């Protein structure tokens, strides 16, 4: 228990205040690490006089305590990680189907962890969203490729997820009239590289238990399928969002008509797609770009020379100067919201657009944020505006054939 020395040393002469949930966590670990004895069973019965705990309840309580302890020992650190964020998924039958007892176990684990200050539980709504993003209806046992795919998709679509651990599991018929339960605590922040992918390495802690059932009928009901697993091929496309945030209006040229999703980008025939207008302009303030639930920011300088070459090439063709997004995402529609503040009249301008990403296609979104100067407003009667352009090309590569 590597983290215990960090909890135990306390200098009372300095009158340090130790948060109560840290003390509770220490007690929990010491208690849950030991097997449940007959004295503890009597103590459980004393808390509810007149009630006798069944073997099923005692075995389930021991399993939950062990899981709680293992989760805390693996992830909790009162200085660096005082709150562990956990996503709990329904347990399956080993064949990718959620069983009745697997759903009940996941629900009880969630309810058990939720009120404790040292744990933060991901909502069921978000869990369902994560599954949809990956073309899944349930989450079974994870290999390295599965984890890597989940990490990439969730961290792209929900970069502030803050998840430390996944709890998944399997429930099957055990020896005699019992359930064999296997729970996996997966480190979601585990760094997956080429070596891990090749050797199928995952940072996971597995706990197993046998839970006796009162009757054969109860066992049959517990292993009954509640939701059949479904894996849908989640096709992807590449989405790149470019912006001209200097304040100049971008004008679409006739070459834009040569782009479509059924053929690669025709760069050889296109000297430029957009050009900057000649009007005097001022730099827009407080630019906000949102993609779905994501609030985007300009991408910092990338170290990948090929990617940097792509961006320079696109800026030259589209008269842009910033990249706000570049990822492979599920092929679907996305809501793009752009806004900025016009300091001249202290007014906010905004524009909402539906962006469609097609399978195996790159969608280039070009944002033009035009803020005319005071002279231009008087002379040409022009006002600030946002224009959103979209051009498509087959494939995930932007640069011409190399």
Question: Each residue of 220-265: pLDDT tens digit?
Answer: 999 999 988 887 777 899 999 999 999 999 999 999 999 999 999 9
CATH number of 4-227: 3.40.50.10610
Q: Which two tokens stand for residue 203?
A: 């940072």
- The rounded mean pLDDT for the chain is 86
Task: Report d(CA 331, CA 329) in Å as an integer.
Answer: 6
The per-residue pLDDT for 48 is 59
Burial class (CB in 10 A: 0-12, 13-18, 19+), 356: middle
List the chain domain ranges: 4-227, 236-394
The per-residue pLDDT for 302 is 64
Task: Report d(CA 145, CA 315) in Å as an integer.
Answer: 34
Task: Report d(CA 68, CA 119) in Å as an integer.
Answer: 10
The per-residue pLDDT for 11 is 36
Whether the CB-CB separation of 124 and 245 falls below 8 Å is answered with: no
Please give the model's pTM, rounded to 2 decimal places: 0.72
Give, for 147, the enclosing helix (H) or strand (E). Answer: helix 144-157
pLDDT tens per residue, range 264-303: 999 999 999 999 998 999 999 999 999 988 899 998 866 6
pLDDT tens per residue, range 65-110: 999 999 999 999 888 889 999 999 999 998 889 999 999 999 999 9
Task: Report d(CA 79, CA 317) in Å as an integer.
Answer: 50
In the chain, % of residues over pLDDT 90: 65
């Amino acid at each position: 228990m590597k983290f215990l020395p960090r909890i135990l040393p306390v200098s009372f002469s300095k009158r340090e205040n130790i948060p109560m949930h840290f003390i509770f966590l220490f007690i929990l670990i010491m208690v849950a690490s030991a097997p449940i004895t007959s004295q503890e069973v009597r103590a459980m019965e004393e808390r509810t006089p007149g009630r006798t705990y069944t073997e099923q309840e005692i075995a389930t309580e021991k399993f939950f305590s062990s899981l709680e302890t293992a989760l805390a020992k693996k992830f909790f650190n009162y200085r660096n990680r005082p709150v562990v964020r956990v996503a709990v998924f329904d347990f399956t039958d080993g064949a990718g189907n959620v069983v009745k007892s697997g759903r009940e176990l996941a629900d009880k684990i969630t309810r058990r962890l939720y009120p404790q200050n040292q744990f933060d539980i991901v909502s069921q709504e978000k869990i369902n969203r994560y599954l949809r993003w990956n073309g899944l209806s349930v989450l079974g046992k994870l290999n390295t490729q599965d984890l890597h795919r989940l990490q990439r998709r969730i961290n792209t679509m929900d970069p502030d997820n803050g998840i430390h651990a996944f709890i998944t599991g399997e429930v099957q018929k055990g020896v005699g009239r019992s359930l064999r339960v296997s729970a996996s605590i997966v480190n979601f922040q585990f760094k997956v590289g080429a070596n891990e992918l090749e050797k199928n390495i995952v940072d996971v802690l597995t706990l197993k238990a046998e839970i006796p059932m009162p009757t054969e009928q109860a066992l049959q009901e517990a292993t009954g399928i509640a939701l059949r697993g479904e894996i849908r091929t989640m096709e992807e496309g590449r989405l790149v969002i470019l912006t001209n945030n200097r304040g100049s209006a971008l004008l679409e040229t006739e070459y834009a008509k040569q782009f479509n999703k059924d053929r690669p980008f025709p760069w050889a025939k296109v000297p430029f797609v957009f050009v900057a207008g000649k009007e005097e302009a001022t730099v827009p303030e407080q630019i906000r770009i949102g993609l779905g639930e994501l609030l985007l920011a300009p991408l910092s300088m990338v170290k990948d020379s090929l990617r940097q070459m792509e961006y320079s090439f696109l800026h030259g063709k589209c008269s842009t100067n910033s990249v706000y997004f570049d990822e492979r995402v599920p092929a679907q529609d996305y809501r793009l919201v752009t806004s900025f503040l016009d300091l001249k009249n202290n007014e906010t301008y905004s524009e909402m657009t539906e962006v469609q990403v097609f399978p195996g296609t790159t969608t280039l979104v070009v944002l033009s944020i035009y803020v005319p100067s005071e002279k231009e407003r008087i002379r040409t009667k022009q006002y600030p505006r946002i224009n959103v352009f979209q051009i498509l090309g087959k494939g995930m590569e932007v640069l011409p054939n190399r």
